[in-house]
């Protein structure tokens, strides 16, 4: 899935866990982070059902429009909910932050596109969703799957 989906799930996870007021705060933090990280695997598996091309398509107007909506929606959610639900939102997006932010930056610094491949978390995601792929149609490049 994309940023808004991960943000919304992270917010809901944090809301639900923080309602468990009998839990010590440390347990709440561990539960929020663990469930939000796991939710990333589930949502990215379900992403096979949505328009989510694996590579950028800047010449495609639908791709550009969709990404404008996605990033605007993500920015709006961050603006509205950051102060209270930052932990759930970061934890739910940590895998993308690490793989697409941290490792990409380090690859550019090192001038080596293959550097750090063994540290990508998305490689584990591929193993997680491999057995489920036979049950899910791959609509990632179908414009109609935006809905």
Q: What's the pLDDT at 117?
A: 85
- Give pLDDT tens digits for 35-90: 999 999 999 999 889 998 888 899 999 999 999 999 999 999 999 999 999 999 99
Element (H or E) spanning 61, and its range? helix 61-96
Q: What confidence tier does 118 reach under pLDDT thresholds 50, 70, 90?
A: confident
Distance CA 32, CA 10 (A): 8
Q: How far is CA 45 from CA 11, 31, 49, 104, 135, in A?
A: 19, 21, 8, 22, 11
Q: What's the pLDDT at 52?
A: 86
Q: What's the pLDDT at 75?
A: 97
């Amino acid at each position: 899935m994309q940023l808004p989906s991960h943000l919304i799930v992270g917010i809901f996870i944090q809301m639900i866990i923080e309602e468990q007021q009998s839990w010590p705060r440390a347990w709440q933090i561990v539960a929020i982070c663990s469930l939000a990280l796991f939710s990333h695997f589930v949502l990215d598996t379900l992403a096979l059902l949505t328009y989510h091309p694996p590579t950028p398509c800047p010449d495609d107007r639908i791709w550009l429009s969709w990404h404008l909506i996605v990033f605007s929606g993500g920015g709006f959610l961050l603006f509205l909910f950051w102060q209270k639900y930052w932990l759930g939102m970061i934890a739910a997006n940590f895998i993308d932050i690490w793989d697409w932010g941290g490792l990409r930056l380090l690859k550019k610094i090192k001038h080596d596109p293959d550097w750090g491949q063994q540290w990508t978390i998305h490689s584990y995601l591929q193993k997680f969703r491999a057995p489920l792929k036979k049950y899910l149609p791959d609509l990632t490049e179908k414009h109609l799957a935006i809905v």
